[in-house]
Amino acid sequence: MKRFEVILFFILMPLFVYGQERHIVVAADGTGEFTSVQEAVNSIRAYMSDTTHMFIKSGIYREKVVIPSWVTILRMKGESAATTIITWNDHARMNSMGTFRTYTIWIQGAGFIAEDITFENNAEPLGQAVAVHADGDRAVFRRCRFLGNQDTLLTANQESRQYYEDCYIEGTTDFIFGPATAWFERCHIHSKKNSYITAASTVEGHGVPLLPPSSSGARWELIFFRQGGITGIILRMKRQPGMPSRAAPVRVPVLAHA
C-alpha cells in the first residue's frame, strides 16, 4: 500500500506543479525576485496551464525581451505606464538587422496580457525600429504605451488575434503594421509625421469582414473603435498605394492636435 502511495505521488506531482498560478516580482532596484524582465521570463516553466502573474515595479528596464512560444498565459503588469518602461534602441540599419529583429519585446507565446507598461524603441529615426513584435495568439494590451518612430507596433502572424484597450500608440511611418487581426478600443493613435499610419498585410481569407460588407469582398486587418481617435501631424487615415484600405476612417473620429 505504501509503495502504491509513493507511485501515485510521483504521478500526480506534475499536475500540482503545472496547475498552480505563480506570482513573480521584477524590480530594477533589487527589491523583487528579479532585476530584469528577461530573467523573470526565463524562470517560467514551459506550457503552464495556469496564469503566471509578473508584476514589474516602476523603473526603466533597458533590455531586449523575448517571450518564447512555450511561455503561455503570462500576465505582465506594471505599476504605471508612466513609470514602468521597457526600452531598447535597435534599428534596421544596425548591422543589416532588418525590420523584424529590431524589437524591444517579441511576444511569441499565446495568451499574453500586458497592463500599465510602456514599450519603447528609442532608436534614432534612421529606419525601421519595432517596439513591440506581437506574434502570439490572443494577445491583450491594456493601458499600455507604444513609443517609437517607424514601425512601432508589429501585429504579426496571420493567425494571431490581438486586442488593445485604452492604449497610446505613436510613430512616424507605418507604425501599426502586419498581418494579424487587431481590435483597438478607445486607443489614442498619434502620428508624428505626415506619412502613412498603417501598413496592413492581411493574408487573403483572414481578417474580419468589412461593416457594411464590401462588394469586392475586401477584409481589413485593423479596426479602430469609435471611442478612439487619431491626433498629430496627420488627422486622417491614408491609403497605401495599390493596397485596399485595411482600416475604417469613417469609424475613427478626428481629435484635435495633441
Number of domains in the chain: 1
Residue 16 in domain: no
How far is Cα of residue 125 from the mean position of the Cα atoms in its chain? 21
Active site residue 174: yes
In a domain, 17, yes or no: no
Catalytic (active site) residue 50: no
The answer to whether residue 1 is domain-embedded is no
Identify the active-site residue in 50, 135, 151, 166: 151
- The HSE-up count of residue 222 (CA atoms within 13 Å, CB side) is 29
49 contact partners, CB below 8 Å, separation of at least 6: 18, 19, 73
Lowest-confidence region among 2-11, 75-84, 118-127, 176-185 = 2-11
Alpha helix segments (H runs only) across the chain: 2-18, 37-42
Strands 153-155 vs 113-115: parallel, antiparallel or unpaired: unpaired
Place of cell 513609470: 83
Reported as a single tens digit per residue, the pLDDT across 160-189 is: 999 999 999 999 988 998 888 888 888 998
**Angle, CA 200 vertex, CA 197 and CA 201 arms, to 5°:** 155
Residue corresponding to grid cell 506594471: 78
Eight-class DSSP state of 224: E
Which residues 6+ apart lie within 8 Å of 133 measured at CB? 100, 103, 105, 106, 107, 154, 156
CATH code assigned at 145: 2.160.20.10
Q: Is residue 257 situated within a structural domain?
A: no
Which residue type, as a one-letter code, is found at position 241? P
Residue 205 binned pLDDT confidence (cut-offs 50, 70, 90)? low
Residue 107 lies in a domain: yes
* Predicted local distance difference test score (pLDDT) of residue 197: 82
Q: Is residue 43 part of a domain?
A: yes
Residue 95 falls within a domain, yes or no?
yes
pTM value is: 0.79
Q: Which domain holds residue 94?
A: 23-251
> Which three three-digit cell numbers place residue 98?
532588418
- 18 found inside a domain: no
Whether 218 shows a pLDDT value over 90: the answer reads no
